[in-house]
Chains A and B, each alone.
Chain A
């Protein structure tokens, strides 16, 4: 990946003369300049920006989705509501809002595997998965997921049985998608908290599978 957060010069702690990463530094300086102009013109409140950043850095992320999945694995009535109206059921756990006002949940079964993409931009169910990873927004994923889903799964080290049908969901409207992976075997009697530990972000996008009991995240 082109950007290494260790070399972010935004705050200029005496590293401004490190030309090796001058391009990144230029971008960071440009963003700071733009934000200053916007604030001076009364178009933004920098403190509001701090809250936005904190929200997506620390509060909204894939652990939310994992809790949703774990509840669906534990509570069949909740699962039925989740598949009926994803956003409404997810709101029961008090998740929702920007980037996930409308959410459909698609269930992996013995013969069907679901994979989510946004070929047009980067639509992703923010309230349950947080902000999308770089690869999800990248040209390789956006171009290949629809035409070669098995090849993409192979890039992630996932091989499905030949007879499994793959359904790809292209997020072209404000409807966002969350994959409900199959509950791993050997988890009878597990609590929701323990089950949630098995739910990976990638399994909720459909490019991965949940961890097996005994595997560590």
Chain B
């Protein structure tokens, strides 16, 4: 999608534009840390918002709307409770809550996506590959502009949790990830600068030999 105009940077931008933004971020991190849904599911919830809403609301409004949708779908919070500002019924209890004493070490450790594997990578560095022409309605991390285009594998990133499966509760289903470089001309046509390129990290199921 194009036509959004220039990139406008805010001078002396604060980390959060008001305390509510900070609380949205923290609520998203803390509820996700329970382990009932993944970060990939959260991303899918955001990108599944109505496009009109997505394009006209701020980042943390998008995060809030997506979190509410997840909480509704998980039967954890209902609209009347948000309206009331209080819990009106019980929700299932997590095995563990993200506790203050554990936050710093958990954030420092993070949630690495790389996984051990006994499979071998299907593609090799230097190989030409084509990004598949695919348009799933479920979550995917293959950008539209790369679909159907030919690039070259520049690096192998290891085997990582596959967002396309993990976002939908189908488990980590680890897949090899390749750093694939596309020339600007391959992506955008003959008017593009012949020197420039765009590189994406593509999961193996996104690629086929070219």
Contacts and interface: CB of A to CB of B under 8 A. Distances in A.
A143 B4 contact: yes
B174 to A, nearest CB: 12
A170 to B, nearest CB: 5
A99 B110 contact: yes
A147 interface: yes
Interface string B100-111: 101110111111
Nearest to B54: A139
Contacts of A48: 26, 30, 97-100, 102-103
Contact of B142 (A43, A150, A172): A172
B143 A170 contact: yes
A172 B21 contact: no
B7 A156 contact: yes
Interface in A21-54: 24, 27-28, 30-38, 40-45, 47-53
Interface string A96-137: 111111101000000000000001111000010011011101
B151 to A, nearest CB: 12
Contacts of B142: 172
A interface SS class: mixed
Contacts of B104: 51, 55
Interface residues of A, number: 85
B interface SS class: mixed
A158 to B, nearest CB: 11
Given A37-B82, A43-B31, A143-B2, A1 B97 contact: no
A97 B107 contact: yes
Contacts of A130: 15
B17 A5 contact: yes
A143 B16 CA distance: 23
Nearest to A147: B188
Nearest to B8: A135
A135 B86 CA distance: 35
A128 B131 CA distance: 31
Contact of A140 (B7, B13, B145, B201): B7
B90 A41 contact: yes
A52 B108 CA distance: 11
B208 interface: no
Contact of A49 (B23, B84, B85): B23
Contact of B201 (A38, A53, A97, A175): A175
A104 B141 CA distance: 18
A152 interface: yes
A199 interface: no
B115 to A, nearest CB: 11
A8 interface: yes
A10 B10 contact: no
Contacts of A135: 7-10
B198 interface: yes
A43 B196 contact: no
B53 interface: no
B142 to A, nearest CB: 7
- In the A-B complex, the 3 residue pairs with the closest CB atoms: A8-B18, A3-B17, A173-B201
Interface of B: 1-2, 4-10, 13-27, 29-31, 34, 43, 46-47, 55, 58-59, 61, 64, 67-68, 71, 76-77, 81-87, 90-91, 93-94, 97-100, 102-104, 106-114, 141-143, 145, 157-158, 160-161, 163, 177, 179, 181, 187-188, 192-193, 195-203
Given A24-B20, A174-B161, 19 more contacts: A5-B14, A8-B19, A34-B27, A34-B67, A37-B77, A38-B71, A45-B97, A48-B26, A49-B26, A53-B25, A98-B106, A141-B7, A144-B4, A147-B188, A163-B195, A167-B198, A167-B199, A169-B198, A174-B160
